[in-house]
Structure 1
Amino acid sequence: MIKENKSENNFDLCKKNKKGILMVHFGTVKEEVRKKTLDSINMNIAEKFREFQVREAYTSRMIIKRIYKKEEIRKNTPKEALRLMAQEGFTHIVVQASHVINGLEGEHLKDELRYFKDDFQEIKVGEPLLTSPEDYIETADIFKREFGSIEGAVVLAGHGTRHHSNSAYGMLQTVFNMRGMEGFYVGTVEGYPALDDLIPQLRKKGVNKVTLVPFMIVAGNHAVEDINGEWRETLEKEGVSVEVIMKGMGELPDIQQIFVRHINRALNSEEENMGNKKDEILKSI
């Protein structure tokens, strides 16, 4: 649990501190997509936090391997990036992932951070895109501004997961509905709801035109193969006219701003030890 702490944080206590932000991305093999999304996010963070040095890491080892074979560029894993930052004398760091939900990738990242708890004076961790209720509301409003004038239904295609965090997609759909965005639908490629779950809803509403939009940070292989491929073909067989907007969320400045806000929150918050809090309750009896 994160507790807000508006007082001066340890990152500001000493001008001799060497402060860094490690941006962690799943990654993408597509160079042009990297430039429009992940590189753009990194540059935006560097612009907003000029007193920090910004580094990056990729979590997908397969993507790291494929980029190296294709471009001879070696992206670091989070462990490698943290090890280098420790060697370079960083004292205080914020680790901010561009993950959409609090899923398996985020859990694995936190496991990796435990190896470095003694290498830095302080490590802060920013939250994924969809964490607080405000995140869901803000994200819904961003999509309404970007795509609300489109004729027909807008179907957002997320990645999805078997992890319990997949429920985030259902919560986002609830927020859409409660904010009067009845023409917006959320589906997933590898979770629930799948496209097959959405089609009966589209039939019931008499939808004959759909715009597919990746609900992913990058419009990478999933967007090309699954959304612009299988999803488009399936809907067209249903007699639905389909358009695809091949644009990852990472390209949207307002989405990038949510990650900026999460870094600020991490800097001005402290993690609350629930174990100690529970033990304190029982000391009085």
Structure 2
Amino acid sequence: MGKKSIILLFHGTSNYDDSREMYANIIKKFENEFKDFHITDAYSSSAIRKMILNEEIFPTIESRLKELKNKNIEKIYISPIVILQNKDYSKGFHTTTKFKKDFSVIKYGESSLSTPEDYDNIVSIIKKEFHKNDYTYLFVGHGGKHHSNSAYGMLGYKLYLENESYITMTFAKGIGINEIKNKLIKLNKKILIVPILISKSFHYKNEISKDIVNQIKELGLESEVMDRTFGEWDLFLELCINKTKKLINN
């Protein structure tokens, strides 16, 4: 069969100490599921790496691939534990092309929101978790200028078709509070803010837990922030594991 490795590709976070346990837990889950694979990690964000100034904490895909090449690993499967196929995701993909001759197999997986099936799967696990009639559920993603952020619009539409108490917004460019405030006011329920983030990042602590909470308060509504991100959510990690199995077997 040859030596095989799965690289778990994370974005990275400036709040590493708060997320260290989360990363370790995800790696452990993959080790338990893929016992005949060498499991390691890599991080896609160059911006985060510049903040941390320590590549040992957030190794690049390139450094991991060089390391695995030296260990005589033959088959590589890169499993992105990220929401979108953004700029950093694309850079990672292009990095792998330099190593095609170094491994008998090197495959680069899809992000969590890539295919129509992905949206259906995310909606399915959200339905299992969030179903109290006395709440409005506000799902908050990053947003931004990159075209991949349109995925939040697709997810929001799918969720709203399922349940009118499922509302989606972004804290950067995309779907702002002014575009959803009338729906929130009309529903007139307590709002549970659900971060569409992998880790408890700077954005979790600031844009979500402070800025959006204050914006909702100004609407005269009560809110609370879910204390788990997607990286701490077992149902989401099961989806990541299943996507990795498909990557390996297809």
Q: Bin the TM-score by the shorter chain.
A: over 0.9
Q: Does 2:238 match 1:253? A: no
Give me the CA root mean square deviation: 1.9
* Change in 2 beyond 3 A, CA 1:148/1:206: closer
- Provide the residue aligned with 1:170 in structure 2: 153
Q: Which runs of 5+ in 1 are unaligned?
A: 1-13, 270-285
Q: Does 2:222 match 1:222? A: no
- Do 1:208 and 1:239's aligned partners in 2 also have CA atoms closer than 8 Å? no
Q: Does 2:247 match 1:266? A: yes
Structure 2 residue identity aligned to 1:262:
K
Deviation at 1:24, TM superposition (A): 0.8
Percent identity for Structure 1 against Structure 2: 26
What secondary structure, in the 3-state scheme, does the structure 1 residue paired with 2:7 have?
strand
- Provide the residue aligned with 1:238 in structure 2: 219
- TM (norm. structure 2) is 0.92
- TM (norm. structure 1) is 0.82
Tell which structure's C-alpha radius of gyration is larger. 1
Deviation at 1:237, TM superposition (A): 1.3
Structure 1 residue identity aligned to 2:123:
A
Q: Which runs of 5+ in 2 are unaligned?
A: none
* Change in 2 beyond 3 A, CA 1:122/1:173: same
Q: Does 2:32 match 1:54? A: no
Aligned residues: 249
- Do 2:160 and 2:167's aligned partners in 1 also have CA atoms closer than 8 Å? no
Q: How does 1:85-100 map to 2 (within 5 A)?
A: 85-100=68-83
- Provide the residue aligned with 1:25 in structure 2: 10
Equivalent-residue separation in structure 2 for 1:241 and 1:108 (angstroms)? 41
Deviation digits for residues 138-160 of structure 1, max 9, x if unmatched? 21121222222262211011112
- Provide the residue aligned with 1:40 in structure 2: 25
Deviation at 1:218, TM superposition (A): 1.1
What secondary structure, in the 3-state scheme, does the structure 2 residue paired with 1:247 have?
coil
Q: Which fold has the larger relative contact order, with Cα–Cα distance below 8 Å and residues 6 or more apart in sequence?
A: 1
- Provide the residue aligned with 1:182 in structure 2: 164
Structure 1 residue identity aligned to 2:176:
A
Equivalent-residue separation in structure 2 for 1:256 and 1:250 (angstroms)? 7
Q: Does 2:87 match 1:104? A: yes
Deviation at 1:80, TM superposition (A): 0.9
Q: Does 2:180 match 1:198? A: yes
Equivalent-residue separation in structure 1 for 2:94 and 2:174 (angstroms)? 26
- Do 1:67 and 1:73's aligned partners in 2 also have CA atoms closer than 8 Å? no
* Change in 2 beyond 3 A, CA 1:151/1:33: farther
